[in-house]
A = this chain, B = another copy of it.
Amino acid sequence: MSLEVNPLRFAEIFRALTRDGATAEGGLNRPALSRAHLDARDTFRGLISECGFEAHTDGAGNLSAVWRCAEPDAPTLMLGSHLDSVPNGGRFDGTLGVTAAFEVARTLREAPHPKKMHLEVMDFTDEEGTWVSLMGSRAATGRLTEKDLAHPRGNPEAFVMALDRAGLTVEGILGADRSAEPPAAYLELHIEQGTRLERTNSRIGIVTGMVGIHMFLIAFNGQANHAGTTPMLERQDAALGASAFCLAVRRRVLEDFPDCVATVGQMKFVPGTFNIVPDQVTVFMELRSDDPHRAGQLEDALRGAAADAADGYGLTAEFNHLESVTESAMDPDICRLMESSCTRLGLKYSLLPSLAGHDAQSMARICPSGLLFVPSRLGYSHSAAEYTDWDDCVAGANALLQTAHALAISQ
């Protein structure tokens, strides 16, 4: 099929959708529910209307453009991503996906072959977790609880005000669950935010699934003591255990778990003053793997590393699991469709797991889902340095189009 997106029209939509919250450095600063984010949604609403789609907003603020095919009882093919960004982020993360989805929907609508699915282009709320990670897509798939909304990442009072400003309520968000009537499939295009595609010279990444993310709090317990009068060898210094553990995390992953990643992102010291030997240091550690078995093995290895680090300095360690995001699989049939689409288009692709979370993993709970990656220059993300060649963006949109078309005309 010579079905292709319209590159100029695609660029025009991208320009329109990257205007609200644009920064001087060429990035985007529009955290979920901020003024700029609400403006971007207004802009999208305008485009939806201009292009003759129906605009829908659900109780979680998820904004979609709907086109109905000739058969009223047809299922829906959803394509989407998110318009919100991290603070001082880049233009491509999420917004490229919404743009591509919209351009794909417009192209499909014009394509000759009769569609047997309605099309819905979705902009999910707060994918980045300014307040609650993947909030909109989790709400839409019944994976959000009141407790999640009671413990937002930001200041809880500020969250309430932001919801109010956006016309949202907790009840409304929890009521946005559409899992009783799921789409037939969900497709998403997103930037890789890593360097695997670049390093393998691949134009497209076909995501097999999302890694599981497992978060732990490891408390090293020593004895607070006077930093002057306590001889070095009489100390039970919690900072030493935490430091040894931090180095061991890296070493274990590099030596035995090259298929995983693990990170120490924070250490909290008690009492935390210059002149007191630390009583307790709590380490925040997360590890990721697409294989739950490997994740468990790495966890065990790091439990051992924490115990060794504690023993080495006369401390005790408590290794506590905090929470996890379960691994999720993208649909194998959709992956195969994506492979043949890439082959047909002459695009070199890689099959790979996603090391970051995406709305597609929420949708995967209620319908077959697929996720395509385009390369990120040097892997930069979440900053104005975030960049994907426009040719790669167009190639990605075309791969998305081919896949969506194959689904939309089947059934």
Contacts and interface: CB of A to CB of B under 8 A. Distances in A.
Contacts of A1: none
Interface residues of A, number: 53
A261 interface: yes
Contacts of A381: 226, 229
Given A242-B243, A267-B239, A211 B227 contact: no
Interface string A206-235: 000001010100000000101111111110
Copies in the complex: 2
A83 interface: no
B227 A286 contact: yes
A266 interface: yes
A265 B261 contact: no
A275 interface: yes
Interface string A247-278: 10010011000000101111101011111111
Contact of A234 (B271, B278, B356, B379): B379
A254 B242 contact: no
Interface in A331-380: 355-357, 379
Nearest to A210: B228
B229 A254 contact: no
A274 B381 CA distance: 17
Residue among A193, A243, A284 with the highest chain B CB neighbour number at 10 A: A243
A164 B242 CA distance: 42
A327 interface: no
B274 A265 contact: yes
B231 A240 contact: no
B356 A265 contact: no
Contacts of A263: 227, 237, 274-275, 277
Given A232-B254, A244-B247, A247-B243, A261 B227 contact: yes
Contacts of A261: 227-228, 230-232
Interface in A280-320: 284-286, 288
A229 B318 CA distance: 28
| Those 10 A-B pairs whose CB atoms lie nearest each other, nearest first | A243-B243, A194-B229, A228-B355, A227-B263, A243-B246, A266-B272, A228-B356, A229-B355, A193-B229, A274-B286
